[in-house]
Amino acid sequence: MRKYLRKERRVCKINKRYQNITNRIIGSIEDGKVLLFYNKEVIGFINLDDATITHTDRYVVHDHQIYQVVQDGETLIVDSYTRDCDLGWC
């Protein structure tokens, strides 16, 4: 997705990409919340009282999926090329 910002008569282009990380999220129940972890880092939590999700600015929730916001120049974590290997050797 691309957005354009106008600032002081200059146009700056900001490129953002979104990586779906839903299947890599790990949850841990603690103090009435489900803490959400991605790469051993807390990225947010779900309050069990009212089922609301709170997350950091680097992540977006859309259609029951969690996405990491990646700016240009940042490295995406890519799934291994051996994912879903059915031969057993990889």
Q: What is the mean pLDDT of each run of 10 residues along the chain (90 residues)?
A: 41 66 94 94 94 90 89 56 55
pLDDT at 85: 57
Residue 82 resides in a domain: no
Residue 42 resides in a domain: yes
pLDDT at 51: 87
Cβ within 8 Å of residue 46, ≥6 positions away: 27, 33, 34, 36, 52, 53, 54
Tell me the residue range of the domain where 53 lies.
Answer: 16-71
Strand partners, 7: 10
Q: How far apart are CA 81 and CA 56, in angstroms?
A: 29
Number of structural domains in the chain: 1
Residue 30 resides in a domain: yes
Q: How far is CA 68 from CA 8, 84, 85, in A?
A: 30, 22, 26
Chain position carrying tokens 């940042």:
74
H or E element, residue 26:
strand 26-30
Residue 67 resides in a domain: yes
Residue 9 resides in a domain: no
H or E element, residue 42:
strand 41-47
